[in-house]
Structure 1
Amino acid sequence: MASPRISLSVPGPDGDREIGISNPDRVLWPDSGITKRELAEYFITVAGPFLAANGDRPVSLERFPDGVAGESFFSKNPPKGAPDFVEAVTVTYNSGRRHPQIVLTEIAAAVWAVQMNTIVFHPWASLAGDSDHPVELRIDLDPQPGTGFAEVIAAAHGLREVLIEAGLEPWVKTSGNRGLHVFCPIEPTHEFLDVRHAVIAAARELERRMPEQVTTHWWKEERGERIFVDFNQANRDRTMAGAYSPRALAGATVSMPVRWDTLDTVDPAAFTVRTVPEILAADGDAWRGFLDAPGRIDTLLEWWQRDLDDGLGELPFPPEFPKMPGEPPRVQPSRARKPDAP
């Protein structure tokens, strides 16, 4: 039997808003028993850090009508009937199509999204006021079979050194799963393709220094037991779970910002919808001030050009992207047509 609808009082810049939550006792995470109401209350509790990391940006909502054990789908534009405090901005996608995308400007919008069965929030790397120019350089460190979190940590420390040498300040968070996300605040002076090239330059430099530990190979059959440095997360309209966003995984884990001096002892499974509010209250926001001192990607772009001059070219784009200039063939090496033998 469905639980009765409730109303939650949500603080905001214009005073409290009353947000209705239907079926508040519906369990979203069966393994932990976390309900829809608990998730809504989680966002109210972590409102400040969550909005600092995800607010004022185009954001995609990953919605789970039947909880994490069921099917999911993405919402990008505000649905009909969305309240007026759920804002939107028109963005350009890789196809050239333009469309409104949701923007969170107060935590009531996130609570409303929970009412719409949202569990994971996927923000763009750019702000709503200038969606074409990222304010973040993002790198996803993705463990491959045969590697674990200890190997991801080692790769993250190596990547940090590379980025610092390039004049940037790296920040790190758990992915909420097995990987790590390394972000750098940057001045919004370059379009997404330039930022992608900067990420590739950093990834290649890390690969040179840690060839047995990390790889930039796009095709899984070529990666081996190494950490994949996912450069394609830097593309336009390619997003990952935002900081403090829950993940649709059995443990109700959260993508959690952490400090570099604690990274070696981090347990990603310890950051959950139920534990993160207490951790924040005790330790504060590890990403506080993230955008205060943005850097520039000039040095990384110089490295990109250096590699081009040395014969290293463009890398593959995701399959849903249009064919891009200089891109190698989109066919995995084992299926590529071999030249006729002499």
Structure 2
Amino acid sequence: MAKAAAVEVQAGDRSVRVSSPDRVIYEATDRTPEVTKLMVAEYFASVGDGLMRALRERPTALERWTSGVRPGMKLATGPQDKDADAFYQKRVPKGAPDYLETATITFPSGRTADEICPTEIAVPVWCAHMGTLTFHPWPVRRADVDRPDELRIDLDPQPGTTFGDAVRVAGVARELLEEKGLRGYPKTSGNRGVHIYVRIEPRWEFTDVRHAAIGFGRELAARDEGVTMNWWKEERGERIFVDFNQNNRDRTIASAYSLRPIVGAPVSTPMTWEELAGVTDPGEYNLFTVPDRVADGDPWASIDDVHHDITPLLALYEEQGSVEMNFPPDYPKMPGEPPRVQPSKKVAEHWDEDGNWIGPA
């Protein structure tokens, strides 16, 4: 069969070339038709306002599935995954168009990179041409890449819990945020979880925002026994984990309106709080259904209207003793961080009854 010729997709004021338009990215299911590469590009163009609200002026890593999504395919998470089928692109790909702009970011290691910084919808559509399904924007704007303007609360269901459990906990999280004078905007993760975003004043460093997330998460766990803040998986149990480390430098979450590499082409979909409370199947929100929602209005249209003060959440962290928690394993050892010792491998005499490190320095 002859290879299909490249086609042009209208994206704002530009026409973007998409090669191999008939390549199947998602196979058909009993509820959704197959999805081609062209359909992915057209989807991003159709949700342009909402997608750009999530990406505009933000350094953004790309999750590229150049051969499409199939059961058993693997996403590379490091250089050891040489046989992976998909990968993260943290630097501008070769062949980028001249209208694509960049931002220079610094990784925890101190290395720097020029990352894609979308300023118009043609950029995400071109990224679809490059096999991108999911966008991973930093919680900063290009004007100041060291001070986040977004607090991200990631409610991550652990084995034995469900999306419904995450929705219930999200309701408790909403109450806590509102008590502290903050407005959160929820979305489905596109899988089993729920994400809540809070726009904040860009005057704190990453460590401050992380501490705000820790303070919030600990208080949430104190109010709901179905919530855990335990970093080590063996201690989490059948609870919803508040992944505070998603607020670290170079940690990102799938953006609003991103596709997820899961059968059925689900979308990480912005919701109103009332809407979220009634959702039982997040898979209903996919490439085929979400564009009609956006045509009726974006639930996150007002997210940039107010940037909040996180001092009340930092006060929670201080009231809780300002106790630092573990960082991800790829981070250098951080100030105040407890030893990175898996609980089942701890030496008992090195820890007091409250779980505090008292062993050798």
Alpha carbons 2:7, 2:21 under 8 Å: kept:
no
Q: What is residue 50 of structure 1 aligned with on the other side? A: 51
Match 1:22 to one of 19, 22, 27: 19
**Counterpart-to-counterpart distance in 1, 2:312 and 2:9:** 48
Alignment of 1:161-180 (within 5 A): 161-180=175-194
Query: Alpha-carbon deviation of 1:262?
Result: 1.4
Alpha carbons 2:9, 2:41 under 8 Å: kept:
no
**Distance change in 2, residues 1:40/1:11 (3 Å):** closer
Equivalent position SS for 2:349? coil
**Counterpart-to-counterpart distance in 1, 2:235 and 2:329:** 17
Equivalent position SS for 1:189? coil
Alignment of 1:178-217 (within 5 A): 178-210=192-224, 212-217=225-230
Match 2:304 to one of 291, 297, 305: 291
Amino acid paired to 1:227 = I
Aligned length: 332
Alpha carbons 2:62, 2:88 under 8 Å: kept:
yes
Residue deviations 1:92-129 (CA, integer Å, cap 9, x gap): 11111121111111111111111111111111111111
Residue deviations 1:184-240 (CA, integer Å, cap 9, x gap): 110101011100000000000111111x21000011111111110110111111001
| Residue identity (%) | 49
TM-score of the aligned structures, taking structure 1 as reference length: 0.94
**Counterpart-to-counterpart distance in 1, 2:241 and 2:251:** 17
Q: What is residue 121 of structure 1 aligned with on the other side? A: 135
TM-score of the aligned structures, taking structure 2 as reference length: 0.89
Amino acid paired to 1:334 = S
Equivalent position SS for 1:299? helix
**Distance change in 2, residues 1:258/1:2 (3 Å):** farther
Q: What is residue 263 of structure 1 aligned with on the other side? A: 276
Match 2:344 to one of 304, 322, 334: 334
**Counterpart-to-counterpart distance in 1, 2:255 and 2:112:** 23
**Counterpart-to-counterpart distance in 1, 2:199 and 2:168:** 22
Amino acid paired to 2:196 = V
Amino acid paired to 2:344 = S
Match 1:100 to one of 105, 114, 128: 114
Alpha carbons 2:230, 2:236 under 8 Å: kept:
yes
Match 1:323 to one of 329, 333, 336: 333
Match 2:150 to one of 136, 160, 172: 136
Q: Is residue 273 from structure 1 mapped to residue 287 from structure 2 by the alignment? A: yes
Alpha carbons 2:104, 2:112 under 8 Å: kept:
yes
**Counterpart-to-counterpart distance in 1, 2:101 and 2:341:** 40
Q: What is residue 35 of structure 2 aligned with on the other side? A: 34
Equivalent position SS for 1:39? helix
RMSD of equivalent CA atoms:
1.4
Q: What is residue 302 of structure 1 aligned with on the other side? A: 315
Q: What is residue 354 of structure 2 aligned with on the other side? A: none
Q: What is residue 232 of structure 1 aligned with on the other side? A: 245
Unaligned 5+ residue runs, structure 1?
none
Query: Alpha-carbon deviation of 1:18?
Result: 2.5
Residue deviations 1:138-188 (CA, integer Å, cap 9, x gap): 010011111112211111011111111222111100000000001111010
Query: Alpha-carbon deviation of 1:7?
Result: 2.6
Alpha carbons 1:3, 1:24 under 8 Å: kept:
no
**Distance change in 2, residues 1:2/1:202 (3 Å):** farther
Alpha carbons 2:11, 2:125 under 8 Å: kept:
no
